[in-house]
């Protein structure tokens, strides 16, 4: 009996070793769940399980059943769209800050800066507050360079635009407006006096552009937004009236009125414009409907 027990133990030991070898080989070309499932079949069906799985794989190779299959496709399924193919070691810069390895994160960011790939100011501002001093230094350096370049472009355009010599040069005025918009968006890096001066220039230019391009809603909307930011509600109301006269059948002027009266804390006027917008025979966008629901709830809560 002792001899039989020893033989059984030796057989089971060999069987477990064979199952382990099968699992290690199977893990190379399969997902973990599939490899462990096949190994379980081999383990719980001694001898025959190993024979069945080996025959199954042999027949699959002969018939070409495994061609073109990868672990990724098996685990995720085939995507219904195909995006841009990138190398495996490429990480989106916005996600690079989530990388734990400081050396890799530093390499991603510094290489992007050297190749002038970083244009998103939000990414640069995130990098400025990174714990890695080298990344923060590169980010500050690049933002400083961008601001210097922007200030140079503004200086070059100011003489012609603000002197009145190019009042009808629409492409030049539009380009200068874009520069001013980008410049004042960097408020954290500009002294208060300069920022206010450039914001005033921007508002004045937008008012002029609404005259040159009366069909462009963006200039009306941006002018009102900046006037609200400045706290000049009376001028913002006047600009909103011009916006309404230019686009009486659009929802955008109403939304700007509502934004203005909310900032101005004038609930009666706000509710009046809200009622006018609901009564206007036009199809409202989801954004307008969201605003209506929000202020309708506010009226109920404060009624």
Res 48: pLDDT: 76
- Locate 142 and state its tokens: 């690049």
Q: Which of 56-70, 173-187, 220-234 has the lowest mean pLDDT?
A: 56-70
User: Residues 19, 43: contact at Cβ < 8 Å?
Assistant: yes
Q: What is the mean pLDDT of residues 8-22?
A: 78
Res 213 pLDDT > 70: yes
d(CA 22, CA 45): 14
Query: According to the per-residue pLDDT averaged within each range, which of 36-50, 176-190, 272-286 is highest?
Result: 272-286
Give the pLDDT of residue 38: 78
**Residue 213: exposure state from Cβ atoms within 10 A (0-12, 13-18, ≥19):** middle
Number of domains in the chain: 1
Q: What is the pLDDT of residue 216?
A: 95
**At residue 41, does pLDDT exceed 60?**
yes
Residue 192 lies in a domain: no
CA distance 164 to 271: 41
- Report which of residues 268 and 41 the model is more confident about: 268
Per-residue model confidence (pLDDT) at position 218: 96
Share of the chain above pLDDT 90, in %: 34
Distance, CA of 256 to CA of 244 (rounded, Å): 9
> Percentage of residues in the chain with pLDDT exceeding 70?
69
Per-residue pLDDT, 22: 75
Mean pLDDT over each residue of the chain, to the nearest integer = 77
Q: Is the confidence at residue 122, as pLDDT, over 50?
A: yes
Do the beta carbons of residue 126 and residue 144 sit within 8 Å? no
User: Is the pLDDT reported for residue 302 higher than 70?
Assistant: no
214 domain-assigned: no
Q: What is the pLDDT of residue 144?
A: 80
Residue 8 lies in a domain: yes
Instruction: Identify whether 276 is part of a domain.
Output: no
Identify the sign of the CA torsion 196, 199, 205, 210. negative
Does residue 29 form part of some domain? Answer: yes
Query: For residue 55, is it within any domain?
Result: yes
Tens-digit pLDDT profile for residues 240-296: 999 999 999 999 999 999 999 999 999 999 999 999 999 999 999 999 999 999 998
Domain interval for residue 27: 2-61
Question: Given a cut of 80, is residue 17 above it in pLDDT?
Answer: yes
Q: Is residue 16 included in any domain, yes or no?
A: yes
Sorting pLDDT into bands at 50, 70 and 90, what band is 70? very low
40, 30, 33: which is closest to 60 by C-alpha?
30
Please choose, from the candidates 206, 199, 191, 92, the residue with its C-alpha nearest in 3D space to the C-alpha of residue 147: 191
* In-domain check, residue 284: no
- Predicted pLDDT of residue 235: 96
């Amino acid at each position: 009996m002792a001899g039989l027990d020893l033989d059984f133990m030796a057989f089971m030991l060999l069987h477990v070793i064979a199952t382990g070898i099968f699992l290690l080989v199977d893990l190379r070309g399969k997902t973990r769940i599939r490899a462990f499932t096949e190994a379980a079949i081999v383990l719980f069906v001694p001898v025959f399980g190993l024979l069945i799985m080996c025959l199954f794989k042999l027949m699959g190779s002969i018939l070409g059943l495994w061609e073109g299959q990868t672990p990724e496709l098996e685990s995720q399924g085939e995507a219904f769209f195909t995006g841009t193919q990138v190398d495996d070691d490429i990480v989106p810069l916005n996600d690079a800050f989530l990388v734990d390895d400081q050396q890799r994160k530093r390499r991603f960011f510094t290489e992007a800066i050297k190749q002038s790939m970083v244009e998103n100011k939000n990414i640069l501002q995130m990098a400025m507050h990174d714990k890695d001093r080298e990344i923060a230094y590169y980010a500050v350096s690049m933002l400083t360079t961008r601001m210097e370049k922007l200030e140079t472009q503004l200086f070059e355009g100011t003489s012609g635009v603000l002197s009145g010599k190019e009042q009808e040069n629409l492409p030049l005025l539009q380009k200068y407006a874009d520069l001013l918009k980008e410049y004042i968006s960097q408020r954290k890096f500009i002294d208060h006096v300069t920022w206010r001066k450039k914001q005033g220039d921007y508002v004045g230019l937008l008012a002029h552009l609404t005259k040159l391009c009366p069909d462009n809603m963006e200039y009306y909307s941006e002018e009102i937004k900046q006037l609200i930011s400045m706290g000049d509600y009376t001028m913002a109301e006047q600009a909103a009236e011009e916006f309404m006269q230019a686009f009486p059948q659009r929802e955008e002027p109403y939304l700007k009125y509502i934004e203005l009266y909310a900032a101005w804390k004038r609930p009666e006027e706000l509710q009046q414009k809200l009622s006018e917008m609901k009564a206007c025979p036009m199809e409202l966008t989801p954004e307008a409907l969201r605003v209506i629901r929000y202020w309708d709830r506010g009226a109920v809560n404060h009624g």
